[in-house]
Structure formats: C-alpha cells, structure tokens
C-alpha cells in the first residue's frame, strides 16, 4: 500500500 501512495505523484 505504501507504494500505491507514491504513484499518485508524477
């Protein structure tokens, strides 16, 4: 889940 938060950045 930690990785998913990052992928909201460009």
To another protein, the closest distance from the beta carbon of 4 in angstroms equals: 9
To another protein, the closest distance from the beta carbon of 7 in angstroms equals: 7
d(CA 7, CA 3) in angstroms, rounded, equals 7
Binding mask 1-10 for another protein (x = CB under 8 A): xxx-xxxxxx
Cβ-Cβ contacts under 8 Å for 8 (sequence gap 6 or more): none
To another protein, the closest distance from the beta carbon of 10 in angstroms equals: 5
Residues making contact with another protein (CB under 8 A): 1-3, 5-10
């Amino acid at each position: 889940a930690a990785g998913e938060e990052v992928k909201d950045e460009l």
